[in-house]
Chain A
């Protein structure tokens, strides 16, 4: 799957410092084409730092190749092929949507004004609207339409749906799936709404305090992790088998294992599909409440 032709991003021993503070700690991963990769982590886990490094906005140590480019050195060339919405993205409030389209046409060689107008027809945004008259959800949709109209290979979205209501988030993701994901292009998206985007993702990467604690295709989660719903009476035997998390699910006791537990333990419970939220809680809690076993 990770042969050279299919790989869009490759990182080897990627670290990033802010002064003395280590923000990313020797990450190794690759992202092939045609994927929807979720980047999960608590605030301060390093998500934004990683995305900044990918678009050449921050220097790093170790190897990082994005579409074959070295992000900081080849930034101009790279940004023809990669689109990015940072977590602090804003559109100029005074501008009309049509003016933004003209602006993008002048700025980006691979931007299609016609495609941007087509994408905006999906929304309730009108070309004559001023940004300051749009709701927060409409601004984000406009932003997505503008960058999805760039014929790029990779989209990097840093918490794009933060602060949006549920309908706006749904509209955003619908446009993303429908207009961007074509099996060739990839998107890396960070969010805190883990439950909501679980079905959308092909892969998940989890950062905890700068370390990559999980990097796995969604359809392999079932093979590696085992969630067991069990009677409270079995709690002691289950705990003795060192689950990575014990929790309650719909009022019932449950435990999550990394790798199959011994057969005598597995027979104590009923196997469930491990949810991304439970994995997230198990793998990214603060170290003091999640002692290494």
Chain B
């Protein structure tokens, strides 16, 4: 069964997972999002929680609500998401990573940039 950590509310964790899938093109821009019910069943979550997660993605400008048809992935959603993720990395993850690199005394030229 899906597991959730204790750092953030569950709806926020689901929103992050769905955003991760969007970044990978699932679903593609212009395509419909899965229904609240099917997401609720898939992730074993209360439909209210799923609704909050979808609302969060809509508020971030990633989804569009089409009357009577449900939610669709907005054109440009992946670029927007990548920009949001980059910003979050630079603001939240990078300072911690930089601190760790400094502590370990690692220089830029010691890091392997090409995939093995």
Residues of B within 8 A of A199 (CB): 2, 4, 10, 43-46, 49
Residues of A within 8 A of B48 (CB): 202, 219
CB-based nearest B residue for A254: B6
Residues of A within 8 A of B42 (CB): 174
CB-based nearest B residue for A167: B1
| B21-40 near A? 1/0 per residue, CB < 8 Å | 00000000000000001101
Task: Select A227's contact among B6, B11, B49, beta carbons within 8 Å.
Answer: B6
Whether the pair A170, B8 counts as a contact (CB closer than 8 A) is no
Q: Is A241 close to B, CB under 8 A? A: no
| Size bracket, chain B contacts | 20 to 34
Whether the pair A201, B6 counts as a contact (CB closer than 8 A) is no
Q: Is B20 close to A, CB under 8 A? A: no
Residues of B within 8 A of A177 (CB): 37, 40-41, 44-47
Q: Is B9 close to A, CB under 8 A? A: yes
Task: Select B46's contact among A201, A222, A227, beta carbons within 8 Å.
Answer: A201
Q: Is A129 close to B, CB under 8 A? A: no
Whether the pair B46, A178 counts as a contact (CB closer than 8 A) is no
User: What number of A-B contacts does a CB cutoff of 8 Å give?
Assistant: 63
Q: Is A166 close to B, CB under 8 A? A: yes
Residues of B within 8 A of A249 (CB): 6
Q: Is B7 close to A, CB under 8 A? A: yes
Please give the number of chain A residues whose Cβ is less than 8 angstroms from any Cβ of chain B in the complex: 24
Whether the pair A170, B46 counts as a contact (CB closer than 8 A) is no
Whether the pair B44, A218 counts as a contact (CB closer than 8 A) is no
CB-based nearest B residue for A183: B47
Residues of B within 8 A of A174 (CB): 41-42, 44
CB-based nearest B residue for A34: B48
Most B CB within 10 A of own CB, among A177, A178, A202, A222: A177
Residues of A within 8 A of B46 (CB): 36, 177, 181, 199-202, 218
Residues of B within 8 A of A222 (CB): 9
Most A CB within 10 A of own CB, among B10, B40, B42, B52: B40
Whether the pair A166, B1 counts as a contact (CB closer than 8 A) is yes
| A188-228 near B? 1/0 per residue, CB < 8 Å | 00000000101111100000000000000011001000010
Q: How far is the CB of A154 from chain B (nearest CB, A)?
A: 17
Q: Is A273 close to B, CB under 8 A? A: yes
CB-based nearest B residue for A169: B1
Whether the pair A273, B6 counts as a contact (CB closer than 8 A) is yes
Complex alpha-carbon distance, A275 and B7, angstroms: 10
CB-based nearest B residue for A176: B41
Complex alpha-carbon distance, A9 and B26, angstroms: 41
CB-based nearest A residue for B48: A202
CB-based nearest A residue for B5: A273
CB-based nearest A residue for B47: A181
Complex alpha-carbon distance, A275 and B44, angstroms: 16
CB-based nearest B residue for A221: B9
Given A177-B37, A218-B46: A272 and B4 within 8 A (CB)?
Answer: no
Q: Is A173 close to B, CB under 8 A? A: yes
Q: A-contacting residues of B (Cβ < 8 Å)?
A: 1-2, 4-11, 37-38, 40-49, 52
Closest 9 CB pairs of A and B: A178-B41, A199-B45, A174-B41, A272-B6, A273-B6, A177-B41, A177-B40, A202-B46, A202-B48
